[in-house]
Amino acid sequence: MVEDLLHSSAGWLNFGIFFLLAVVLLLVVLGFVTYAILAERKVMGYMQMRHGPNQVGGRWGLLQTVADVLKLLLKEDVIPKLADRPLFIIAPVIAFAPAFMVLATIPFTDKFQFADIGVGLLYYIAVSGITTVGIVTGAWASNNKYALLGGMRAAAQMISYEIPLIMSVVGVVLLSGSLNLNDIVEAQKNGWFIVWQPIGFIVFFIAAVAELNRVPFDLPEAESELIAGFHIEYSGFRWAFFMLAEYVYFFAMAALITVLFLGGWLPLPFLGFIPGAVWFALKFTAVVFILLWFRSTFPRVRADQLMEFGWKVLLPIALANIFLTALIMELVKLF
Amino acid sequence: MIRTEEMLLNVGPQHPSTHGVFRLVVKIDGEIITEAKPVIGYLHRGTEKLAENLQYTQIIPYTDRMDYLSAMTNNYVICHAVETMMGIEIPERAEYLRVMAMELGRVASHLVSWGTFLLDLGATSPFIFAFREREMIINMLNELSGARLTFNYMRVGGVKWDAPEGWVEKVKEFIPYMREQLVGYHQLVTGNEIFMNRVKGVGVYSKEDAINYSLSGPTLRCTGVKWDLRKDEPYSIYDRFDFNVVTREEGDAWARYHVRLEEIEESLKILEQAVEQFPAEGEILAKVPKIIKAPKGEAFVRIESPRGEIGCYIASDGKKEPYRLKFRRPSFYNLQILPKLLKGENMANMIAILGGIDIVLGEVDG
């Protein structure tokens, strides 16, 4: 359906349909964020032998996040006197907008995708880098020393993990011969890339966690060191925007891992009768759960160790993986 | 042109990782600390001065509030000092109750230290696990004394309350449970690569430094000095128990972490023996005068608290209040080495070093 629309001429009707779909996606994402936060708190709660939210919205605390968001909306909007006002206001938007932009390229099923662009993977990685600009901007504009430290850490972390992240997917691109996410999923018909690209997968996963600023790579926020890091001066809804961006990325990155390495909507053998959307949701949930599991298990990495790990371990491994993949492909062609 | 400048950063007194109202003024170059200056006194209540106007029994609740994570040892040190001056013989049963209470307190204190240390390093779960076990200890001590944190349990000449029925059995059941949990602690944290990288070689000091800075407790034993007052200057009935003094050679945060965890095991050993030997009947309070008056003179006693040597000096002119009372508070002394350790470290290490020293601000500030 989307395919037909994309190829038909531009018009108000098309625009309207796309707009409606975008709203639907926005609501789905917001719904995800709402319940991802709840899931995070619940999963962590059970791992730590406590209940997690269980008051607002019944036994499962289903409305807890809604209540939290309402509370954030009602909070006073504080801008520090010595902050750089325009930058301070625009920073959450810069951090937040790309988080939604990347969602457009993710193919949730073979039919449900908003923008089937040829360089989908490249687009995702390029756009997602913009968020760090927002984080650094916010940190700088806050005029706070802790925020500054957090912002600098975020910038350093982004540079040292974006590169292994890109390098680790080159193996996938080599195997599928395309940067288009749809084609990449189609190429996994004979086996998911987690099987053909185990090294790539591990490097990508670690780099992805670092990209998401999640435990054990949550240095920019580092609660016990920098208190709240880059968003220390933010409160109310501006703060919520940073958090929203973080969780939307969480969503996007889990979806991307599903697409790149876990075969997207492709079913397991003999289970093809289950629709692709369900498969996607299952794989996606598994990735999300692992990320939540990380959070309740690991201590935080130190900044200098993080850099060292990124440049001296992940990057060489990712490069070796490219070489190895190319070599094996050529050898297979020969025989 | 790039111009860099040093930044003066105020860590605390409101900061998640300073374990209370501790303030650290650090000069940082990037993230590297060039100078650190601890500022203390936000929790100063003048215990020593207040004590000069209080009767000996009235001082005991003030000691609870010094090292509030291990109030039992503080109770003991003041009672022990007065008893030493008056030459009071403590009933057997009271001694056992005291030792059990103190060792339970030591386990609880090391658990908090373990949990908060890891919380400082960014791991949230160990904190919860540690507090789960600590809660059991606190409940036991609550049954014993009627309070969860500020026990006010010991008296000059013995203890205030006898153990309630079934209490000793509860302690007995707790020992194997705690041992089992310790295995889990090691599985969760000790072998973790990230954790090892964070603590190994961080905040190293030598044996000589430790002695020159008059460090004590785990902060001393982590350098390999085998010095534990329970063994070397046995007080109470510690000479009856068979336990080891845990030492490590490295002198870094990793060694301190290990010393604390292994000390929990040694404490459990002592508890096990104390439960075995616990006399079925007996007095819990020696015959002491209604109004306690320490004889003219002075006395200094020291015992091993979870944080190190806690000492109590009393100068008495024969009245019912002390003329002068002084506590040697181990956290305060252990903190002295901090500026030296922090020089050249980065922010993340600062937290690891501070957490490894394990201070309690109530004790630092007195």
Per-residue pLDDT tens over the stretch B256-295:
999 999 999 999 999 989 898 888 888 888 888 888 888 8
pLDDT computed for residue A5 by the predictor: 63
**Å from A229 to nearest chain B CA?**
12
CB A215, CB A295: distance < 8 Å = yes
CB A219, CB A153: distance < 8 Å = yes
A216: preceding bond cis by omega (within 30 degrees): yes
Percent of chain A residues past pLDDT 70, beyond the cut: 94
Asked whether residue A251 carries a pLDDT value surpassing 70, the answer given is yes
Per CB-CB distance under 8 Å, the chain B contacts of A47 are 125
Q: Which of A225, A292, A300 is most worth mutating to test chain B (most B CB atoms within 10 A of its CB)?
A: A225
Per CB-CB distance under 8 Å, the chain B contacts of A226 are 347
Subunit contact A223:B122, Cβ cutoff 8 A = yes
Give the position of tokens 């991802």.
Answer: A36
**Which backbone phi and psi does A5 adopt, to 5 degrees?**
-60, -40
Q: Which two tokens stand for residue B116?
A: 């908060």
Per CB-CB distance under 8 Å, the chain B contacts of A40 are none
Percent of chain B residues past pLDDT 70, beyond the cut: 100
Residue with the larger pLDDT of the pair B171 and A218: B171
Asked whether residue A8 carries a pLDDT value surpassing 80, the answer given is no
* A50, A146, A299 member nearest B192 (Cβ): A299
CB B256, CB B113: distance < 8 Å = no
Of B327, B333, B332, nearest to B60 by C-alpha is: B327
Read off the pLDDT band of A2 (50, 70, 90).
low
B82-127: per-residue pLDDT in tens? 988 888 888 888 889 899 999 999 999 999 999 899 888 888 888 8
CB A275, CB A112: distance < 8 Å = no
Handedness of CA A294, A166, B348, A233 (dihedral sign): negative
> In terms of DSSP H, where are the helices of chain B?
47-51, 56-64, 71-86, 92-120, 125-145, 167-185, 193-199, 207-212, 218-221, 229-232, 253-277, 330-334, 338-342, 347-357, 361-365
Query: Looking at the DSSP assignment, which residues form a beta bridge with residue A306?
Result: none
Nearest CA in chain B to A304: B346
Subunit contact B348:A216, Cβ cutoff 8 A = no
**Å from B7 to nearest chain A CA?**
8
Of B306, B278, B292, nearest to B113 by C-alpha is: B306
Asked whether residue B366 carries a pLDDT value surpassing 80, the answer given is no
Subunit contact A216:B197, Cβ cutoff 8 A = no
Overall average pLDDT of the B24-34 stretch: 85
* A145, A146, A300 member nearest B122 (Cβ): A300
- Rounded Cα–Cα distance for residues B365 and B360 (Å): 9
**Å from A296 to nearest chain B CA?**
6
Q: Which of A152, A215, A224 is most worth mutating to test chain B (most B CB atoms within 10 A of its CB)?
A: A224
Is the Cβ of A312 closer than 8 Å to some Cβ of chain B?
no
* A299, A303, A305 member nearest B121 (Cβ): A299
Q: Which two tokens stand for residue B265?
A: 């095991």
Overall average pLDDT of the A166-185 stretch: 83
Nearest CA in chain A to B29: A149
Residue with the larger pLDDT of the pair A223 and B267: B267
Read off the pLDDT band of A6 (50, 70, 90).
low
Q: Which of A44, A50, A302 is most worth mutating to test chain B (most B CB atoms within 10 A of its CB)?
A: A302
Subunit contact B197:A302, Cβ cutoff 8 A = yes
- Rounded Cα–Cα distance for residues B59 and B79 (Å): 10
Per CB-CB distance under 8 Å, the chain B contacts of A301 are 194, 197-198
pTM metric for this prediction: 0.86
CB B241, CB B269: distance < 8 Å = yes
> How many angstroms separate the Cα of B83 from the Cα of each of A184, B52, B78?
80, 18, 9
CB B73, CB B301: distance < 8 Å = no
Nearest CA in chain B to A218: B122
* B9, B17, B346 member nearest A304 (Cβ): B346
Handedness of CA A114, A120, A125, A126 (dihedral sign): negative
Handedness of CA B38, B39, B45, B49 (dihedral sign): positive
- Rounded Cα–Cα distance for residues B193 and A78 (Å): 41
Q: Which residues contact B300 (CB under 8 A, 6 or more apart)?
A: B81, B311, B312, B313, B314
Give the position of tokens 């599903």.
Answer: A258
**Å from A259 to nearest chain B CA?**
29
> How many angstroms separate the Cα of B76 from the Cα of each of A46, A253, B283?
39, 57, 18
Read off the pLDDT band of B138 (50, 70, 90).
very high
Residue with the larger pLDDT of the pair B222 and A271: B222
Instruction: Give the mean pLDDT of chain A.
Output: 82
Is the Cβ of B120 closer than 8 Å to some Cβ of chain A?
yes
CB B299, CB B84: distance < 8 Å = yes
Per CB-CB distance under 8 Å, the chain B contacts of A292 are none
CB B26, CB B9: distance < 8 Å = yes
**Residue B207, SS3?**
helix
Per CB-CB distance under 8 Å, the chain A contacts of B347 are 149, 225-226, 303
Q: Which of B4, B128, B132 is most worth mutating to test chain A (most A CB atoms within 10 A of its CB)?
A: B128
CB B149, CB B52: distance < 8 Å = no
Asked whether residue A1 carries a pLDDT value surpassing 60, the answer given is no
B330: preceding bond cis by omega (within 30 degrees): no
> In terms of DSSP H, where are the helices of chain A?
2-7, 12-47, 64-74, 85-101, 120-128, 130-141, 145-176, 181-186, 193-196, 198-211, 223-226, 236-261, 276-297, 303-308, 315-334
B12-21: per-residue pLDDT in tens? 788 888 887 8
Overall average pLDDT of the A310-332 stretch: 87
- Rounded Cα–Cα distance for residues B142 and B150 (Å): 10
CB A123, CB A117: distance < 8 Å = yes
Is the Cβ of B241 closer than 8 Å to some Cβ of chain A?
no
Read off the pLDDT band of B40 (50, 70, 90).
confident
Read off the pLDDT band of B313 (50, 70, 90).
very high
> How many angstroms separate the Cα of B130 from the Cα of each of A277, B67, B111, B316?
42, 18, 5, 42
Q: Which of A298, A305, A306, A309 is most worth mutating to test chain B (most B CB atoms within 10 A of its CB)?
A: A298
**Å from B18 to nearest chain A CA?**
9
Per CB-CB distance under 8 Å, the chain B contacts of A139 are none
Is the Cβ of A296 closer than 8 Å to some Cβ of chain B?
yes
Subunit contact B121:A297, Cβ cutoff 8 A = no
Is the Cβ of A8 closer than 8 Å to some Cβ of chain B?
no
CB A105, CB A117: distance < 8 Å = yes
**Residue A281, SS3?**
helix
Overall average pLDDT of the B349-356 stretch: 86
CB B154, CB A74: distance < 8 Å = no
Subunit contact A305:B197, Cβ cutoff 8 A = yes
Per CB-CB distance under 8 Å, the chain B contacts of A45 are none
B139-188: per-residue pLDDT in tens? 999 998 888 888 888 888 888 888 888 888 888 899 999 999 899 888 88
- Rounded Cα–Cα distance for residues B217 and B228 (Å): 7
Subunit contact B198:A299, Cβ cutoff 8 A = yes
User: Given the DSSP bridges, would you call strands B297-305 and B158-159 parallel, antiparallel or unpaired?
Assistant: unpaired
